């Protein structure tokens, strides 16, 4: 695992200033503290920070070159089918100088050019320099497990694993992107291609960028495809799911450093642990986190269920019950994300990665199971929507209006909150309704929040068009379309983003077997009705009956959640009231102070639950302090009180 960075001045041919690429990579040292390297040639420079996982010897050093020093690569990730590729490439006459999967990228490119990316099974982001053709290839894996962002500059292009690398480049400006901010308030994250800064883009999942001397071209090489196979019966599908997941887990166990797994007690992580235990010749190391307040465990924990799985498979199990000190860790968490990111699940995941890194360097996780096997209630809600849409429109509008009288609920995931969102979003088509369901604020709510001057910058907002591009017209079933949408938005830029940033904050590699190529292809062949026969993730749960306790498989979906509403009213109340004070909000110039004050007062009184919206505003202010005001280049070592009392 690594942090990579580089510059290609393809427009002017100007030589790279000495040490620039190295400084960019050094900003990513948390991603790879074991080694560093740099290669520069005229208008091109590549650099990396390496976390050694495979081939711990010096032969694994990057940037890595082919036999005649005409192709160079810096690589972040793991290629799980590299042994198969190596045998094939050696049979064609290629000579290897290392045991690293990185070297297979060089030889495969020599054989197949940019089309090589279609042969790779793994998680990756890499930059490959073809010196004879003066061509730079940037690529990421199918679902964006590993990140890569880039910016066009007056001289050419700069890129890096994280935004903080690009900020070392003198031509990358810190100008806030108004549309990206609007997306952030809507989704709590910023989907590609935008980043929080104007002119900086994320590379889309399943795509690559070709940068030549005359042009920059982005190409898509993979998108979720749905081709339901009606020939197989339920038993055959169960066998296929179990065998494919087992193989995917086994494939991702290769490591020359200690390896373990996150165990939440849910179906997905439990399945990963079960197949690890069946494939390994030593006990699996597992890690679980819970929360404590007032001397008691909260209901948000899944510790007891995780313990059942750990006991069944005899794992070396570590439990960490934590009382989060958000005031202490929030500046560090926000700094590692580079841009505003308000999924509060990042907080427990930060602690979980911290715990795991004390014991292992690689951890497997169950991320992706919900998107592939219909694990979210909103997928079932789409089925109900088709029935609900038969009710006359005036009646649906009246029901939607009356739904506002429902109590606020303890969180966005409570039954009343979900019912309200369903009823208020039932007026549009499938795509419009689904976007409403996965949004945390409406356009009207955001427009009330913005200052008039900032609202004017949003004129011609292109967000609907950008979102619509993720909807596949070729997929007819609404649930399949929604899952394909999530595979390109929610999974890479929410779940996989916090998995990557919080693990890399502790120099820990996280692997996700559900996102292997064979799993993605299999999920696209299973009819939607088969996946949910018996309820959410019915097929997956049935496929695992012989591997997991029924108490784990049949319990209500809980999720990796935290008591955010109460945190904001209690432990974080001074922070909320300090960072979101009217004078401070007015100073930023983005939002109307009176509207922010209303949200704070309603939440604190308990008359409404604005937890996610307030958390988003809080994180945004901390991000602005760190990246716009203080311009921190290292992990902040101070608590949030330093920001409140600036």
Q: Which residues carry out catalysis?
A: 2
* Cβ–Cβ under 8 Å, residues 173 and 253: no
Q: Which two tokens stand for residue 150?
A: 């880039």
In angstroms, the CA 82 to CA 53 distance is 14
Q: Is 471 exposed, middle or buried (0-12, 13-18, 19+ CB in 10 A)?
A: middle
In angstroms, the CA 213 to CA 218 distance is 15
Tell me the residue length of the chain.
646
In angstroms, the CA 29 to CA 4 distance is 10
Strand partners, 77: 124
C-alpha count within 13 angstroms, C-beta hemisphere, residue 381: 24
SS3 for 512-562, per residue? CHHHCHHHHHHHHHCCHHHHCCCCCCHHHHHHCCCCCCHHHHCCCCCCCCC
* Cβ–Cβ under 8 Å, residues 286 and 256: no
C-alpha count within 13 angstroms, C-beta hemisphere, residue 423: 19
CB within 8 Å of 477: residues ≥ 6 apart: 226, 228, 528
* Cβ–Cβ under 8 Å, residues 470 and 485: yes
Is the sign of the CA dihedral 222, 518, 83, 47 positive or negative?
Answer: positive
Q: Count Cβ atoms below 10 Å from residue 273 Cβ, excluding itself.
A: 30
């Amino acid at each position: 695992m690594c942090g990579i960075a580089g510059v290609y001045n393809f427009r002017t041919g100007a030589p790279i200033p000495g040490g620039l690429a190295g400084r960019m990579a050094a900003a990513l040292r948390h991603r790879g503290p074991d080694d560093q390297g740099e290669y520069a040639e005229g208008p091109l420079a590549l650099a990396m920070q390496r976390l050694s996982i495979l081939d711990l010897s010096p032969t694994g050093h990057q940037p890595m070159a082919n036999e005649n020093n005409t192709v160079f690569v810096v690589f972040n990730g793991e290629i799980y089918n590299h042994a198969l590729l190596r045998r094939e490439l050696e049979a064609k006459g290629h000579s290897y100088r290392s045991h690293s999967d990185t070297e297979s990228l060089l030889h495969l490119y020599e054989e197949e050019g940019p089309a090589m990316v279609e042969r790779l099974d793994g998680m990756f982001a890499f930059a490959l320099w073809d010196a004879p053709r003066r061509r730079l290839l940037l690529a990421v894996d199918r679902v964006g497990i590993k990140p890569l962002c880039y910016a066009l500059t007056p001289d050419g292009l700069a890129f890096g694993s994280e935004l903080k690398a690009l900020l070392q480049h003198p031509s990358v400006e810190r100008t806030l992107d108004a549309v990206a901010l609007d997306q952030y308030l809507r989704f709590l994250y910023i989907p590609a291609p935008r980043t929080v800064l104007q002119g900086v883009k994320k590379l889309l999942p399943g795509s690559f960028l070709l940068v030549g001397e005359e042009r920059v071209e982005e190409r898509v090489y993979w998108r979720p495809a749905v081709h339901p196979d009606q020939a197989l019966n339920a038993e055959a599908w169960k066998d296929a799911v179990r065998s494919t997941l087992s193989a995917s887990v086994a494939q991702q166990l290769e490591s020359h450093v200690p390896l373990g797994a996150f165990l939440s007690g849910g179906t997905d992580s439990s399945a990963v642990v079960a197949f690890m235990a069946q494939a390994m010749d030593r006990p699996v190391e597992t890690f679980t986190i819970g929360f404590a307040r007032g001397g008691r465990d909260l209901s948000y924990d899944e510790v007891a269920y995780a313990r059942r799985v750990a006991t069944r498979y005899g794992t070396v199990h570590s439990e960490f019950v934590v009382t989060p000190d958000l005031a202490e860790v929030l500046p560090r968490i926000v700094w590692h994300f580079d841009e505003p990111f308000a999924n509060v699940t990042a907080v427990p995941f930060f602690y979980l990665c911290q715990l795991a890194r004390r014991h292992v360097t690689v951890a497997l996780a169950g991320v992706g199971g919900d998107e592939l096997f219909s694990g979210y209630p909103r997928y079932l809600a789409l089925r109900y929507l088709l029935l609900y849409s038969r009710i006359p429109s005036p009646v649906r509008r009246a029901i939607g209006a009356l739904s506002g009288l429902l109590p606020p609920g303890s969180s966005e995931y409570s039954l009343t909150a979900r019912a309200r969102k369903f009823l208020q979003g039932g007026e549009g088509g499938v795509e419009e309704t689904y976007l409403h369901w996965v949004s945390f604020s409406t356009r009207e709510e955001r427009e009330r929040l913005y200052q008039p001057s900032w609202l004017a910058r949003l004129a011609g907002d292109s967000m609907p068009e950008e979102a619509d591009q993720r909807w596949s017209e070729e997929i007819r079933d609404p649930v399949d379309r929604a899952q394909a949408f999530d595979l390109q938005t929610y999974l890479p830029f929410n779940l996989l983003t916090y998995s990557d940033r919080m693990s890399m904050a502790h120099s820990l590699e996280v692997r996700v077997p559900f996102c292997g190529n064979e799993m993605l292809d299999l999920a696209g062949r299973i009819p939607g009705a088969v996946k949910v026969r018996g309820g959410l993730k019915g097929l997956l749960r049935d496929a695992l009956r012989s591997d997991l306790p029924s108490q784990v498989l049949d319990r209500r979906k809980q999720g990796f959640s935290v008591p955010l509403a109460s945190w904001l009213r209690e432990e974080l109340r001074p922070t909320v009231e300090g960072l979101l004070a009217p004078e401070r909000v007015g100073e930023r110039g983005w939002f109307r102070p009176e509207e922010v004050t209303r949200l704070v007062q309603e939440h604190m009184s308990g008359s409404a639950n604005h937890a996610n919206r307030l958390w988003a505003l809080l994180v945004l202010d901390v991000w602005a302090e760190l990246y716009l005001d203080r311009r921190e280049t290292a992990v902040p070592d101070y608590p949030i009180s330093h920001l409140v009392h600036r």
